[in-house]
Amino acid sequence: MGVRKAFAALTRRKPMKATGGGGMARVLSTLDLTALGVGSTLGVGVYVLAGFVSRDDAGPSVVLSFLVAAIASVLAGLCYAEFGARVPRAGSAYVYSYVTVGEFLAFFIGWNLILEYIIGAASVVRALSAYIDALIDSVISDAIKSVMVINVSYLAEYPDFFAFGLCLLFTCALAFGAKESSTLNNIFTVLNLSVVTYVIITGAFKADGANWRVDPDDPNIPEGANVGQGGFFPFGLGGMLKGAATCFYAFIGFDCVATTGEEAKNPQRSIPIAIIASLFIVFLAYFGVSAVLTLMWPYYLQHDKTPLPHVYSELGWPVAKWIVSVGAVFGLFSSLMGALYPLPRIIYAMSSDGLMFAFLGRIHARFQTPFVATLVSGTLTAMMAMLFDLDQLANMMAIGTLLAYSIVAACVMLLRYSEEAEPEPEQPWAPPPLTGGPHKGARAACAAVARVAARLANRPALPRPTRASATLVAWCTALYCLCCFGAAACVVHALDGIKAAEAPLAVLVVFGCAMLLFVLIICLQPTNSQRLTFKVPLVPVLPAVSIAINIFLMMMLDKATWIRFAVWIVIGFAIYFGYSIWNSHERPSRKPSKASVYGGTDARPPSAELVAKVANT
């Protein structure tokens, strides 16, 4: 395969007509979509993350960690909303990117979505197991530890067989046709928010501002407690930002709203509003719970798995402990169903397009579900829940999702400046012809520089994007992302040198200036005139800021997380280049015949129509 053919294969797109066409009823209102977003997002973050992030990473500044993570999520949510406006079909970022950008990035995003849902479901079932275990005084964990302990640093302390079995139970229920109704989801969401409100109100009565001003020399602090420097930022600004990278996981789930393009009554209006509203509600919940949690009880004494029941138990409120514990179990039950349900659908959609193994795309004749994909993905999720601790799972999920969000934001920039269907002939500016003389070489160099500068500055202004301007934007976007990685690496790994105004500071300034230059060049290029019902405002600034924040949060994660993620990506690349690129249904030699396109006997059903059929079961 030559270079040109390889590039064409990587960028081939799925035709819009192949994504199906409105097989589902438009019954979801803005309120329904908001409840869906809140129900899918509000779970482990409010019941678990606030505890161990405040204890190990951020201290009381965990409230700011949630704020930074919320900002990153809102920017990513806006980009998802524009994708939904461009491709108003049922699906996900995988479908959107396949239609608008190309196959390789679609596979990459789809592969990261699989990781997101696997780790998301595994972390929820792990938290659910911890809460149930806490309700029965750690009987389950003590029994397992007495017979089996894992002495591996990057794995859990013990294999959580209860979480494994619980995940398989839910997987079997989904495989045999069980589904989550919108009414049940709304009930659990209301219950979830009620418990959160109860925590905030009751916690306010026990709030003590001294817990945000801890003195590390206080003799009452237990020996061995990780107090740090005390105060509001006991682990410094870096600790708060590291906590933000983990807290970002708590906002994952809102993207399910962007997949309701065929079920919303008015998707162009409802989807953007629901995404922003759900993220705002979830942020208020996280901010409120983390604030009262660290005000009620010192951050260095927080429990890493069941912080809320632990605090109420220490305060002598057993009734409140049980209310919160039972509410958390039902809330996590809803989150688990919400995480497990879309996972096999993503695998199934990729299999239907030829990008995943064919047996994963088979629909069970009786149960009308992606039976094999559900069982395989559920088993893998159960194994992850059994072998990894919650903090390890959260970090793995965060890095994959942050990278997927960065790609979505970059795609929004590329599409906004993409070449139109019938571009006008390009008329680049050219300097007057050179005349002879002793400085002819210097004049030629100056003329070349002038031509490059004119291209970068879009002078004279092009009325619409051309192939050259779109290519320029693509290169600037790629270079901008590389500079973001460089700048983030300087901040994360050479913070002391930056504070001392040493060499890393100069390197950071260079990267920062380059980032601003690339964004400025993109701003000067002509934009696509395609009319959309929703567009991200302030492009390319907002997507660029989103990319920068996402990459910075990724760099804050530990080395072990990057190693695990690298292994996952290598496996994905092996699948794509060993199987997907050769079996894709968009490969010219594998395209269906004309008879199949128009309903012949060898027709391959459009994948999104099958997804709609499965979703309605």
Interval 403-426: pLDDT, tens: 888 888 888 888 888 876 554 444
In this prediction, residue 605 carries a pLDDT of 38
In this prediction, residue 263 carries a pLDDT of 60
In this prediction, residue 616 carries a pLDDT of 43
Residue 611 reports pLDDT greater than 60: no
Dist CA 60 CA 301 (whole Å): 12
Q: What is the pLDDT of residues 317-350, one digit of tens each?
A: 888 888 888 877 877 777 777 677 777 877 887 8
Statement to judge: residues 352 and 212 lie in one domain: yes
Q: Which residues pair with 264 in a beta bridge?
A: 28
In this prediction, residue 593 carries a pLDDT of 40
Residue 593 lies in a domain: no
Statement to judge: residues 402 and 525 lie in one domain: no
Cβ contact 140:164 at 8 Å: no
Query: What are the CA-CA distances from residue 420 to residues 416, 477, 498, 507 (Å)?
Result: 10, 19, 44, 38
Q: Locate tokens 């020996």: which residue?
A: 223
Domain boundary among 416, 449, 476: 416
Statement to judge: residues 497 and 391 lie in one domain: no
Residue 502 lies in a domain: yes
Statement to judge: residues 463 and 405 lie in one domain: no
Statement to judge: residues 97 and 239 lie in one domain: yes
8 vs 468, higher pLDDT: 468
Q: What is the pLDDT of residues 116-174, one digit of tens each?
A: 788 888 888 887 887 788 778 788 888 888 888 887 777 778 888 888 998 888 788 77
Statement to judge: residues 380 and 463 lie in one domain: no
What are the two backbone dihedrals, phi and then psi, of residue 264, each rounded to the nearest 5 degrees? -80, 145
The count of other CB atoms within 10 Å of the CB of residue 315 is: 16
For residue 365, give the 3-state DSSP assignment: coil
How many residues does this entry show for the chain? 617
Tokens of 570: 């290598």
Share of the chain above pLDDT 90, in %: 14
| pTM score of the predicted model | 0.75
What is the number of structural domains in the chain?
A: 2
161-175 vs 371-387: helix axis angle to the nearest 10? 170
Q: What is the pLDDT of residues 432-475, one digit of tens each?
A: 454 555 556 677 777 777 777 887 887 777 888 888 888 899 89
Residue 65 lies in a domain: yes
Q: What is the pLDDT of residues 237-293, one digit of tens each?
A: 888 988 887 787 788 777 777 656 556 677 767 777 888 888 889 899 999 999 999
Domain boundary among 416, 447, 482: 416
In this prediction, residue 542 carries a pLDDT of 92
Residue 159 is part of which domain span? 29-216+226-416
The helices-and-strands tally (H runs, E runs) of the chain is 26, 0
Q: Which residues pair with 90 in a beta bridge?
A: 260
Dist CA 282 CA 405 (whole Å): 19
For residue 433, give the 3-state DSSP assignment: coil
In this prediction, residue 607 carries a pLDDT of 43
Give the mean pLDDT of 562-582. 89
Domain boundary among 555, 580, 610: 555
CATH code of 394's domain: 1.20.1740.10
453 vs 64, higher pLDDT: 64
For residue 389, give the 3-state DSSP assignment: coil
Q: What is the pLDDT of residues 76-95, one digit of tens each?
A: 888 887 876 676 555 567 87
The count of other CB atoms within 10 Å of the CB of residue 225 is: 14
Dist CA 53 CA 166 (whole Å): 26
For residue 2, the number of C-alpha atoms closer than 13 Å in the C-beta half-sphere is 2
Statement to judge: residues 391 and 525 lie in one domain: no
The overall average pLDDT reported for the chain is 78
Residue 594 lies in a domain: no
The count of other CB atoms within 10 Å of the CB of residue 429 is: 14
Residue 489 reports pLDDT greater than 50: yes
Statement to judge: residues 184 and 233 lie in one domain: yes
What confidence tier does 599 reach under pLDDT thresholds 50, 70, 90?
very low
Statement to judge: residues 132 and 249 lie in one domain: yes
Q: What is the pLDDT of residues 214-245, one digit of tens each?
A: 888 888 888 878 888 888 999 988 889 888 87
Residue 485 reports pLDDT greater than 80: yes
Statement to judge: residues 368 and 302 lie in one domain: yes
Residue 580 lies in a domain: no
Residue 561 lies in a domain: no
Give the mean pLDDT of 579-596. 68
Q: Which of these, 94, 87, 84, 83, lies nearest to 117 by C-alpha position?
A: 94
Residue 424 lies in a domain: no
In this prediction, residue 259 carries a pLDDT of 59
Statement to judge: residues 162 and 101 lie in one domain: yes
Cα 496 to chain centroid distance, Å, stands at 30
Q: What is the pLDDT of residues 21-52, one digit of tens each?
A: 444 456 677 887 887 778 778 877 788 788 88
Give the mean pLDDT of 359-382. 79
Query: What are the CA-CA distances from residue 601 to residues 125, 359, 429 (Å)?
Result: 44, 21, 56
Residue 606 lies in a domain: no
What confidence tier does 179 reach under pLDDT thresholds 50, 70, 90?
very low
Residue 534 reports pLDDT greater than 70: yes
Statement to judge: residues 64 and 152 lie in one domain: yes
What confidence tier does 500 reach under pLDDT thresholds 50, 70, 90?
low
For residue 242, give every residue at least 6 positions away whose Cβ sits within 8 Å of its Cβ, in sequence order, or none: 57, 58, 235, 556, 557
